[in-house]
Chain A
Amino acid sequence: MQSFQTLSNTLIRPLINPAQFDFWAQQFGSTRAWQRCFARVVAVTPEGRNTKTLTLKANSNWQGFVAGQHCNVTAVIGGRNISRSYSLSSDPADGRRLQITVRREFGGLMSEYLCNEVRVGERLELGAAFGDMVLPARTPAHLLLLVAGSGITPAMSMARTLARQGMSSPVTLLYWEKAAEDFNFTAELEAIAREHINFNLQLITTRRDNGNPLHGRVTDALLTQIPNIDSVDQAFTCGSAGFVDKVSNICSARGVALMSEAFTPPAQAAEQTELAEYDVYLRGRDQHLRVNNQISLLEQLESAGVAVPSGCRQGICNTCVCPRSAGTTTDIFSGVTDGEPGQQIRLCVSRAAGNLELNI
């Protein structure tokens, strides 16, 4: 076996270049790839207002996920690979058939693309699933899900999973939207509620709406109207940062264990050229640094003792290039500020324009 592996490493591997393999697979209309995980869009279905569900068929490199996790989805938009994280809304038991549910944000490059332009048959790329807000192995005595807006997507995956498993203990889903027409998955959620006596579904509008018994923002008073709320031993929440903040205050006052996930608002590009300090997180080294917005990142990393390969130090040789996983930087020469996650940047001609995460 060992010798076979040596043989294949010396004889077979030189022949196969992953990029070549992927190229020919694509030419023959397949999503197969040597290492990368590509997925075909097999259906696009409208949900609530401005929201669509994309059903994807991933290639065999997909490693699976746990209900509640998300993954990076990459699409080619204007010649660039653009990545955003989306929660998977489908049941993990569906294998390589996955769903993401995308709400259109006006002016949002990726969500506009996925909601308006993506067509059945198109190829997207998926990253490995990640996220800690997942269903525990042992089902809680009474699980409470509090979600707002797009926060429904991980909860939907959980509800589908629990429904398939028979919903043996009480699960309460409190789902907020602005107005009645914004709700997603209503037909399926109501079907689960009809089938499973343990599933208590509450659709709540923040605005006063006719026909909806519950309305208003999340408060402790509102929670007291929910049946059996005092038996809850585990809560999950997902929504905007403000919503999650309120929920965590309420839960800690009630002494309920809570796992939460908040959407991070899109990083705002810093316009000012006044001195400002930001945090840089170096992912590979698991290290945080303070940097200012005046001097190149390369110089500041070096003076902090971080060894970065560098060459010309003037934006020519591409030696100090590294992926910026999050945050915005300004190009020193052009003054252009960019915040595309995963974009390769040259550290010697980049300045921080906000908190950053670099893949070093």
Chain B
Amino acid sequence: MTNLKSRALSAEELAAFGSEIETLKQRELRDVGAVDARYIRRIVAAVRYTEVAGRGLLFLSFIPPFWLLGTLLLALSKILENMELGHNVMHGQYDFMNEPSLNGSTYEWDIVGTSDNWRASHNHMHHTYTNIKGMDDDVGYGLLRLFPEQRWSPMALFQTIYAAILALLFQWGVAIQELQLGKVAKGRKSWAEIREQLKPVMRKVNRQLIKDYLIFPLLAGPMFLSVLAGNFVANILRSLWTFMIIFCGHFTADAEVFPKSVLDNELPGHWYLRQLRGSSNLKGGKLFHILSGNLSHQIEHHLFPTVPARRYAAMSVQVQEICARYGQNYNSDYLHNQFGQVVWRIIRHSFPSSPKVLSA
């Protein structure tokens, strides 16, 4: 877990580092209020209006450019709802508002995966045990070998293909992630358990399928196929986008993976350090950050998952300053560079590889 770009911290330094980050979080939380409420309500409005505009244009898609425009607007709506609205609301970032429709523990988002499963696998396991192999299921999603620390098997040889399929169907991947199908293959879970866990997932899947592939196409009458195709493409576009953003968050070249042993006698502040070292940011403009649900500030999101995400950009300045003082690498680059590194990891570790041994 040692990265040459970051220096090792003593126990005292680690504790001081953690408390500086914690102080920053408390200062920001004290300021949370009306501005954040107005912001998220505007995001809700953007989601709703782009959805209606997109679906409306698809209904009129006998005029050719309308199909493309409608599909893109619908994809935009779905991306915004998924990332800046759903993901952040479900972290409880807007619970301070006491608004039932923005309540983190009841919000249901517009993808086939259920919010309840997400709250368990993402909010709890992934955020508490970020990049700890064997604890954080997001490390390869039980499917991909992204780090040399993961055991190689011949299955990995074809993982570039699995990854491409996962990218296209990312929302389905999220939907079945919590089922941990890999455990069935290893005999640690029964099919009966899977069937039970599948019930709420199937309800959600039905709801999504009926909406996008039956009701709206039917409402469009003669434009049935055109609307169906537009909805299909919009869902694919969202899958590709979210896959790209999320994989750039933890699987870039400098992102580190940790063994379970880091949890034994964990030192104060170590959790913060792992969030920093296991995450990577994306540089870009304001719109890019919003479309990524501010997961472009993955480091800040992992340090401050309950702080409204619109604040990450400003907080990142202070986080970088703290990192510089403690000699820690702040992993941030443009999307093409970071995603290039992710693709390289997927290809490289489909073949046998072993962790670099650092020479002293």
Q: B-contacting residues of A (Cβ < 8 Å)?
A: 10-11, 13-15, 17-20, 22-24, 27, 36, 76, 78-83, 311-312, 314-319, 321, 333-334, 336, 340, 342-344, 346
Q: How many residues of B contact A (CB 8 A)?
A: 46
* Min distance, Cβ B207 to any Cβ of chain A, angstroms: 4
* Chain B residues within 8 Å of A336, by CB: 30
Given A80-B97, A319-B123, answer yes or no on A346-B92 (Cβ-Cβ < 8 Å).
yes
* Chain A residues within 8 Å of B45, by CB: 23, 27
* Chain B residues within 8 Å of A13, by CB: 207
Known contacts A36-B100, A344-B103; 9 additional CB pairs below 8 A are: A15-B216, A27-B48, A79-B36, A80-B97, A312-B124, A316-B306, A317-B119, A317-B123, A317-B128
* Chain A residues within 8 Å of B207, by CB: 13-14
Q: A-contacting residues of B (Cβ < 8 Å)?
A: 22, 25-26, 29-30, 33-38, 44-45, 48, 90-92, 95-101, 103-105, 108, 119-120, 123-125, 127-128, 206-208, 210-211, 214-216, 271, 305-306
Q: Nearest CB to that of A82 among chain B residues? A: B98
13 inter-chain pairs at a CB distance below 8 angstroms, sorted by A residue, are A11-B214, A14-B206, A20-B48, A23-B48, A78-B33, A79-B35, A80-B96, A312-B124, A312-B127, A312-B128, A318-B119, A321-B104, A344-B95
Q: Is the CB of A333 within 8 A of B22?
A: yes
Contact of B306 among A18, A315, A343 (CB under 8 A): A315
Q: Is the CB of A79 within 8 A of B210?
A: no
* Chain B residues within 8 Å of A18, by CB: 101
* Chain A residues within 8 Å of B30, by CB: 334, 336
Q: Nearest CB to that of B25 among chain A residues? A: A333
* Chain B residues within 8 Å of A315, by CB: 306
Q: Is the CB of B99 within 8 A of A81?
A: yes
Q: Is the CB of B127 within 8 A of A11?
A: no
* Assembled-state Cα–Cα distance A318/B48 (Å): 26
* Chain B residues within 8 Å of A80, by CB: 33, 37, 96-98
* Chain B residues within 8 Å of A76, by CB: 37
* Chain A residues within 8 Å of B92, by CB: 318, 321, 344, 346
* Chain A residues within 8 Å of B100, by CB: 36
Q: Is the CB of A342 within 8 A of B98?
A: yes
Do most interface residues of chain B lie in helix, strand or loop, or is the interface mixed? helix
Given A334-B29, A334-B30, A336-B30, answer yes or no on A311-B97 (Cβ-Cβ < 8 Å).
no
* Chain B residues within 8 Å of A27, by CB: 45, 48
* Chain A residues within 8 Å of B35, by CB: 79
* Assembled-state Cα–Cα distance A15/B208 (Å): 9
* Assembled-state Cα–Cα distance A13/B206 (Å): 11
Q: Is the CB of A316 within 8 A of B128?
A: yes
* Min distance, Cβ B135 to any Cβ of chain A, angstroms: 12
Q: Is the CB of A11 within 8 A of B210?
A: yes
* Assembled-state Cα–Cα distance A11/B206 (Å): 10
Q: Is the CB of B305 within 8 A of A316?
A: yes
* Assembled-state Cα–Cα distance A333/B91 (Å): 18
* Min distance, Cβ B47 to any Cβ of chain A, angstroms: 9
* Assembled-state Cα–Cα distance A317/B120 (Å): 8
Which of A19, A317, A344 is packed against the most chain B CB atoms within 10 Å?
A: A317
* Chain A residues within 8 Å of B90, by CB: 318
* Assembled-state Cα–Cα distance A319/B120 (Å): 8
Which of A10, A14, A17, A346 is packed against the most chain B CB atoms within 10 Å?
A: A14
Q: Is the CB of A11 within 8 A of B124?
A: no
Q: Is the CB of B95 within 8 A of A319?
A: no
Contact of A318 among B123, B125, B211 (CB under 8 A): B123
* Chain A residues within 8 Å of B44, by CB: 23
Q: Nearest CB to that of B271 among chain A residues? A: A314
Q: Nearest CB to that of B105 among chain A residues? A: A321
* Chain B residues within 8 Å of A82, by CB: 98
* Assembled-state Cα–Cα distance A27/B216 (Å): 22
Q: Is the CB of A318 within 8 A of B98?
A: no
* Assembled-state Cα–Cα distance A204/B34 (Å): 43
* Assembled-state Cα–Cα distance A23/B45 (Å): 8
Q: Nearest CB to that of B29 among chain A residues? A: A334
* Assembled-state Cα–Cα distance A22/B48 (Å): 11
* Assembled-state Cα–Cα distance A311/B34 (Å): 29
Given A319-B124, A334-B30, A344-B104, answer yes or no on A14-B22 (Cβ-Cβ < 8 Å).
no
Given A78-B34, A79-B38, A321-B92, answer yes or no on A344-B105 (Cβ-Cβ < 8 Å).
yes
* Assembled-state Cα–Cα distance A340/B25 (Å): 22
Given A23-B44, A317-B123, answer yes or no on A344-B128 (Cβ-Cβ < 8 Å).
no
* Min distance, Cβ A345 to any Cβ of chain B, angstroms: 9
* Min distance, Cβ A186 to any Cβ of chain B, angstroms: 37
Q: Is the CB of B95 within 8 A of A19?
A: no
* Assembled-state Cα–Cα distance A314/B29 (Å): 16
* Chain B residues within 8 Å of A342, by CB: 98
Q: Is the CB of A15 within 8 A of B103?
A: no
* Min distance, Cβ A262 to any Cβ of chain B, angstroms: 26
* Chain A residues within 8 Å of B123, by CB: 311, 316-319
* Chain A residues within 8 Å of B214, by CB: 11
* Min distance, Cβ B30 to any Cβ of chain A, angstroms: 7
Contact of B95 among A11, A22, A318 (CB under 8 A): A318
* Chain B residues within 8 Å of A319, by CB: 119-120, 123-124
* Min distance, Cβ B183 to any Cβ of chain A, angstroms: 20
* Chain A residues within 8 Å of B33, by CB: 78-80
* Assembled-state Cα–Cα distance A207/B36 (Å): 48
* Assembled-state Cα–Cα distance A336/B271 (Å): 23
* Chain A residues within 8 Å of B128, by CB: 311-312, 314, 316-317
* Chain B residues within 8 Å of A10, by CB: 206, 210
Q: Nearest CB to that of B123 among chain A residues? A: A317
Q: Nearest CB to that of B107 among chain A residues? A: A19
* Min distance, Cβ A344 to any Cβ of chain B, angstroms: 4
Q: Is the CB of A333 within 8 A of B26?
A: yes
Contact of B97 among A23, A24, A79 (CB under 8 A): A79
Q: Is the CB of A311 within 8 A of B124?
A: yes
* Assembled-state Cα–Cα distance A318/B123 (Å): 7
Q: Nearest CB to that of A321 among chain B residues? A: B105
* Min distance, Cβ B18 to any Cβ of chain A, angstroms: 12
* Assembled-state Cα–Cα distance A294/B127 (Å): 26
Q: Nearest CB to that of B94 among chain A residues? A: A79
* Assembled-state Cα–Cα distance A312/B119 (Å): 12
* Chain B residues within 8 Å of A321, by CB: 92, 95, 104-105
* Min distance, Cβ B104 to any Cβ of chain A, angstroms: 5
* Assembled-state Cα–Cα distance A76/B90 (Å): 21
* Chain B residues within 8 Å of A36, by CB: 100
Contact of B211 among A14, A83, A333 (CB under 8 A): A14
